[in-house]
Amino acid sequence: MLTQPILPAPPERVSVLGLPLHLSPDYAQWWRSRPQAGTHIITLNAEMAMLAERTPELAQILHRADLIVPDGAGVIFYLRLRRKKQRRCPGIELAAQLIEELGRDPQPRTLVFFGAAPGVADTAAQRWRSRFPRLTIHAQHGYLNPQEQGDFAQQLAQWQPDLILVGLGVPRQEYWITQHRHYCPHATWIGIGGSFDIWAGTKQRAPRWLRENHLEWLYRLYQEPWRWRRMLVLPHFAWRSLWP
Binding site for ligand UDP (CB under 6 A): 115-117, 142-143, 167-170, 172, 193-194, 196-197
User: Is 162 or 197 the residue whose CB approaches ligand UDP more closely?
Assistant: 197
In 108-169, DSSP assigns E strands to 110-115, 136-140, 163-167
Residue nearest to ligand UDP (CB): 142
Provide, rounded to whole angstroms, the least separation between the CB of residue 2 and ligand UDP.
Answer: 45
Cα–Cα distance for residue pair 100/219, rounded to 1 Å: 27
Provide, rounded to whole angstroms, the least separation between the CB of residue 134 and ligand UDP.
Answer: 27
Provide, rounded to whole angstroms, the least separation between the CB of residue 5 and ligand UDP.
Answer: 35
State the Rg of the chain over Cα: 18
Do 136 and 125 meet the contact criterion of CB atoms below 8 Å apart?
no
User: Is 196 or 237 the residue whose CB approaches ligand UDP more closely?
Assistant: 196
Cα–Cα distance for residue pair 193/209, rounded to 1 Å: 22
End-to-end CA distance of the chain: 50
User: For 54, which DSSP code?
Assistant: T
User: Is 103 or 169 the residue whose CB approaches ligand UDP more closely?
Assistant: 169
Residue 52 DSSP SS3: helix
User: For 162, which DSSP code?
Assistant: S
Provide, rounded to whole angstroms, the least separation between the CB of residue 118 and ligand UDP.
Answer: 9
User: Is 181 or 203 the residue whose CB approaches ligand UDP more closely?
Assistant: 203
Provide, rounded to whole angstroms, the least separation between the CB of residue 241 and ligand UDP.
Answer: 20
Residue 2 DSSP SS3: coil
Beta bridge pairs of residue 165: 113, 190
User: Is 81 or 117 the residue whose CB approaches ligand UDP more closely?
Assistant: 117
Provide, rounded to whole angstroms, the least separation between the CB of residue 220 and ligand UDP.
Answer: 8
User: Is 53 or 105 the residue whose CB approaches ligand UDP more closely?
Assistant: 53
